[in-house]
Amino acid sequence: MSVSRLAAAAFVAGLPFFASAQAVAADAVASDAIGSGAAPAASVPSPAGAGADAVADSAAASAASAASAVSSAAPTAAPSAASAGAATTASAGSKRSGAMVTDEAAPEPVQVTAARVAQPLATALPATSVFDRQAIDDAGAADLPTLLQLAPGVQISQNGGPGSTASLSIRGSSPNQTLVLIDGVRLESASTGAASISQLLTAPLERVEVVDGNMSALYGAGAVGGVVQLFTREGGPWAPRGHASVSYGRYGTQTQTAGVDGALDADGATTFALNATRFRTNGFSAQDVDRPPPGSMPNPNDNAYRNTTVSGTVKHRFNADWEAGVRFLQSDGRLSYDGYTPAETNESVMQTRLLSLFANGRLTDRWRTQFTLAETTDHATDYTDGVFASQFDTRNRQLAWRNTFDLAPTQTLQFGYERLAQRLRAASAYFDGGVLDTPHRRVDAGYVAYDGRFGAHQFQANVRRDQYSDFGGANSYYLGYGFDLTPHWRVNASYASAFRAPTYNDLYYPGYSNPDLQPERAHTVEAGLQYSEAGFGVARVTAFETRYRNLIAAQNYSVFNVATAKVQGIETAWQGQIGRAELRASFTIQNPVDESNNRELARRARRFASFAAAMPYGSWRVGGNVVASGERAGSAYGPSTPGYATVNLNAKYQITRTWSLAVRLDNVFNRDYQTVYGYDAPGRAASVTLAWQQ
């Protein structure tokens, strides 16, 4: 059987699932996100979020894109070395000019998050998927939840339209068991432990990488399910160049973007990138009249949303070995959401902010190092009928010193120290005394990681120690092995352990918390078979099992420990091309079970899949995607919800070298579905985008 046929057969195995999902009458899916409310995760403890319900214009541009990803994630190379290495392994990068893709096979894309060292996608032991800037544009994803639903193993749950509370789950994990990083900096709310992904627009991003599986031994708590690594746009050694776009679509949705990047001096030593995005939508009334969330009544108000995001990077290369810089991102959002009575008007004002200083370089020919000092904040203030209801302010201060030492040409040793200091300040009309007083938390961590290759054998071993100021210390381990059966076929296997402490909401939120909670512990084993070939891509089938002890779960507006639970499954994924068509496909079957009562863990789908395709044809680029999910078990926050499948189509015409016009049709068949019980997802929606790119 040919490689193409083999990959096709692996994915076609999921076609009966699509048929059964389409046959479901209501076409809706449950959520791992917010139980019964639509308020942002930072302000209200999500019952699910609490735990259980839980190229380029030139080769230089392509190389710079990959090199920036490398330097922001880990000290994998000195500035010049990173650029040189990236030039030999990077994919088509940002494809900024909109030029056609040729029939010539593109090199393997570089990914860095799996082991914090640069390596081709096909050699990463953990299952990893990559979205470059072109793939982000093809997905038509204005925000991060829309994009991530196309990643293998990922489920997205959202309380309605854009801006409403959203969460992600990888391989059946809870939202706060997936770690989100922006340029190597943790992004999470100290109150919920999860990132506010609904407030993250994709316009500032150059690249997104998703690692499936337990990576806690390298990245720390919060990476039980996996890691999502976001890389923002960066400048390069070229004259400043700009880009801008305007779009308009159904629900009065408008988006305007603008940005500029390049070098500030003639020799390209100082580079910069600045980006701004303005997103507005009138929205729709998300609460379903016929099946409202438990305890609420239909609210007729449309859920308008506004977001303004600005981001930037300035970086200076002092010499061939050292560089330093600053990165920032700020997202300001305002959301109208449905409450519990028709008369209520609920509004939330949100802000997510990141500021980081970094320096990386080479101490010796073999030793590379990186220093990062960062602060992230998450603010949310809610109003009911114009009157103050609550305010949540969380702050994370992070210090990291990361090192990579080359033991031999195919062996590296990583070691480092990280500190995380968390603070929560909250006030609400519903709290006794109006203020929630919580202690600060500090986590000190050290890690050592080894990566080596000996002929056809590849090894990865990580150990990490996290010391909590309130829960003591714990060790996490990762052992991975890969063997090349042939130049194209390989087998992978790994074992990983994890430790996660309860969040501030779990411990202190009035009327919900449980001060007697114990930390979660998890153990994961997986084994996979992979095929990779230039001009085809990477196809992989992975069997996985994660067993939890003291899993933190929520039910009946309280939180508790589940003695034992497990998630078993098989994940099939392919990212590559056939001819000039760029394709990605995934299909996951899993069995999440609470072993104390042999019931399914709430709000996890047993089967879900995605498929995306894009192809250049002359001055045109056409494509689309399909996202499908099966039924999920019910919970105390709502009954089970049926499966669904949606189809989205897009086309772009390159008018000139710098101007393009794109049209998009989402939810082509106007499916009526939900990803959180009681909250409708958007219906059929068309949009048009005019873009300019130097």
Mean pLDDT of 54-68: 42
Q: List the beta bridge partners of residue 453.
A: 458
Tell me the C-alpha to C-alpha distance, in Å, between residue 110 and each of 82, 131, 208, 535: 11, 11, 11, 15
**Does 413 have pLDDT greater than 90?**
yes
What letter would DSSP give residue 252?
Answer: G
Mean pLDDT of 328-337: 96
CB 100 within 8 A of CB 56: no
Q: Which domains does the chain have, with CATH numbers?
A: 3-693 (2.40.170.20)
Measured distance CA(163)–CA(350) in Å, rounded: 10
- State the CB neighbour count (10 A cutoff) for residue 226: 29
Those residues with Cβ within 8 angstroms of residue 479's Cβ, 6 or more apart along the chain or in another chain:
460, 461, 494, 495, 496
Ranges of beta strands (E only) in 294-410 are 305-317, 322-337, 346-362, 367-384, 387-408
Q: What's the pLDDT score for residue 593?
A: 84
CB 235 within 8 A of CB 594: no
CB 542 within 8 A of CB 524: no
Measured distance CA(630)–CA(644) in Å, rounded: 7
Q: What's the pLDDT score for residue 535?
A: 87
**Does 18 have pLDDT greater than 70?**
no
Q: What's the pLDDT score for residue 504?
A: 92
Tokens in use for 677? 């019980």
Those residues with Cβ within 8 angstroms of residue 516's Cβ, 6 or more apart along the chain or in another chain:
none
**Does 274 have pLDDT greater than 50?**
yes
Q: What's the pLDDT score for residue 635?
A: 65
Measured distance CA(566)–CA(594) in Å, rounded: 7
**Does 82 have pLDDT greater than 90?**
no
Higher pLDDT, 344 or 418: 418
Main-chain phi, psi angles of 330, to 5 degrees: -140, 125
Q: What's the pLDDT score for residue 594?
A: 80
CB 679 within 8 A of CB 290: no
Measured distance CA(242)–CA(244) in Å, rounded: 7
CB 625 within 8 A of CB 610: yes
Q: What's the pLDDT score for residue 9?
A: 41
pLDDT in tens, 298-322: 677 889 999 999 999 999 999 999 9
Mean pLDDT of 102-122: 65
Q: What's the pLDDT score for residue 634?
A: 66
Those residues with Cβ within 8 angstroms of residue 338's Cβ, 6 or more apart along the chain or in another chain:
38, 160, 285, 286, 287, 296, 299, 301, 303, 346, 679
pLDDT in tens, 596-627: 777 777 778 999 999 999 999 999 999 999 99
- Strands 226-232 and 178-182 turn out to be parallel
* Per-residue pLDDT band at 477 (split at 50, 70, 90): very high
Q: What percent of the chain has pLDDT over 70?
A: 83
Higher pLDDT, 513 or 543: 543
Residue 597: strand, helix, or coil = coil
Q: What's the pLDDT score for residue 313?
A: 98
**Across the chain, what does the average pLDDT equal?**
84
Name the packing angle between helices 59-73 and 79-89 (round to 10°).
120
* Per-residue pLDDT band at 359 (split at 50, 70, 90): very high
Question: Residue 138 is inside which H or E element, if any?
Answer: helix 133-139
Measured distance CA(496)–CA(602) in Å, rounded: 24
Tokens 């994915």 belong to 11
Those residues with Cβ within 8 angstroms of residue 472's Cβ, 6 or more apart along the chain or in another chain:
none
Q: What's the pLDDT score for residue 222?
A: 86
Q: What's the pLDDT score for residue 71?
A: 52
Tokens in use for 112? 């860095």
How is 610-655 classified by DSSP, letter by letter?
A: EEEEEEEETTEEEEEEEEEE--B--BTTB--B--EEEEEEEEEEE-
Instruction: Give CA angle at 79 (76, 83), nearest 5°.
Output: 85
Nearest residue to 140 via CA among 675, 663, 692: 663
Q: What's the pLDDT score for residue 436?
A: 83
pLDDT in tens, 622-668: 999 999 999 977 665 667 779 999 999 999 999 999 999 999 999 99
**Does 336 have pLDDT greater than 80?**
yes
Of 97-101, 121-125, 637-641, which one has max mean pLDDT?
A: 121-125
pLDDT in tens, 25-47: 333 333 333 333 333 333 333 33
Measured distance CA(598)–CA(564) in Å, rounded: 10
The pTM for the full model equals 0.86
**Does 66 have pLDDT greater than 50?**
no
Q: List the beta bridge partners of residue 659.
A: 692
Measured distance CA(281)–CA(287) in Å, rounded: 17
CB 483 within 8 A of CB 457: yes
Of 91-105, 219-233, 268-282, 575-589, the poorest mean pLDDT is in: 91-105
Measured distance CA(512)–CA(338) in Å, rounded: 21
Q: What's the pLDDT score for residue 602?
A: 74
Q: What's the pLDDT score for residue 288?
A: 81
Main-chain phi, psi angles of 177, to 5 degrees: -105, 10
**Does 75 have pLDDT greater than 70?**
no
